């Protein structure tokens, strides 16, 4: 089979090491530290599977449950983690490709205001997450330490997948404790 220009073949994918504390702002430390395990790719994929099974049996009434006034519903949380995954993956792509323009932050409350049906959101999250894992796996190891600025904070490429895993772990924990999901 002919190789495409730039094709690095199908060799072993370099693991993405957990970032050091100097690769991201201290605000993100709880998320990065709560990312499960030592293999970020496996953790991210397991969370996609968990989301599909966790939300499969939710009806719309339960999905709209809020544990307190002014708090997000289960549906809102699922929309939030999907949006965050997309945005963080876009940052990974831009920084890994050498983008130097600062990336803006995002207003998660405004994004959540446009949540969809839960069954669709669970499938959407799993699809987005799996696509993002494919991106992360495709990155040459030399891009892992590249950095960029997003929301006025410098962050490395390798930090963002670990941040995604820890961010979802945090929200899954809250969903279990506060929502019984």
Element (H, E) at 150: strand 147-150
What pLDDT tens digit does each residue of the chain (181 aa) get? 232 233 444 445 678 999 999 999 999 999 999 999 999 999 999 999 999 998 887 888 888 889 899 999 999 999 999 999 999 999 999 999 999 998 878 878 887 887 666 668 888 999 999 999 999 999 999 999 999 999 999 999 999 999 999 999 999 999 999 998 8
CATH number of 38-179: 1.20.120.450
Structure tokens belonging to residue 11 = 């060799």
Q: 43 CB contacts (<8 Å, ≥6 apart)? A: 35, 36, 37, 165, 169
154 bridge partner residues: 149
Q: Quick one: which of 116, 120, 107 has its CA closest to 76?
A: 116
Q: Quick one: which of 103, 102, 100 has its CA closest to 88?
A: 103
């Amino acid at each position: 089979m002919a190789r495409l220009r730039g094709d690095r073949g199908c060799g072993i994918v370099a693991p993405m090491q957990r970032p050091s504390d100097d690769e991201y702002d201290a605000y993100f430390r709880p998320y990065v530290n709560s990312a499960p395990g030592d293999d970020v790719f496996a953790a991210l994929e397991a969370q996609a599977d968990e989301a599909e099974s966790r939300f499969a049996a939710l009806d719309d009434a339960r999905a709209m449950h809020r544990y307190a006034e002014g708090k997000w519903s289960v549906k809102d949380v699922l929309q939030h983690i999907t949006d965050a995954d997309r945005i963080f993956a876009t940052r990974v792509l831009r920084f890994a490709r050498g983008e130097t323009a600062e990336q803006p932050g995002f207003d998660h409350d405004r994004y959540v205001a446009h949540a969809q049906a839960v069954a669709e959101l669970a499938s959407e999250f799993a699809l987005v997450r799996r696509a993002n894992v494919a991106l992360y796996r495709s990155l040459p190891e030399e891009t892992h330490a590249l950095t960029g600025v997003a929301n006025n904070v410098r962050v490395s490429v390798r930090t963002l997948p670990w941040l995604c895993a820890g961010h979802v772990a945090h929200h899954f924990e809250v969903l279990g404790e506060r929502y019984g999901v």
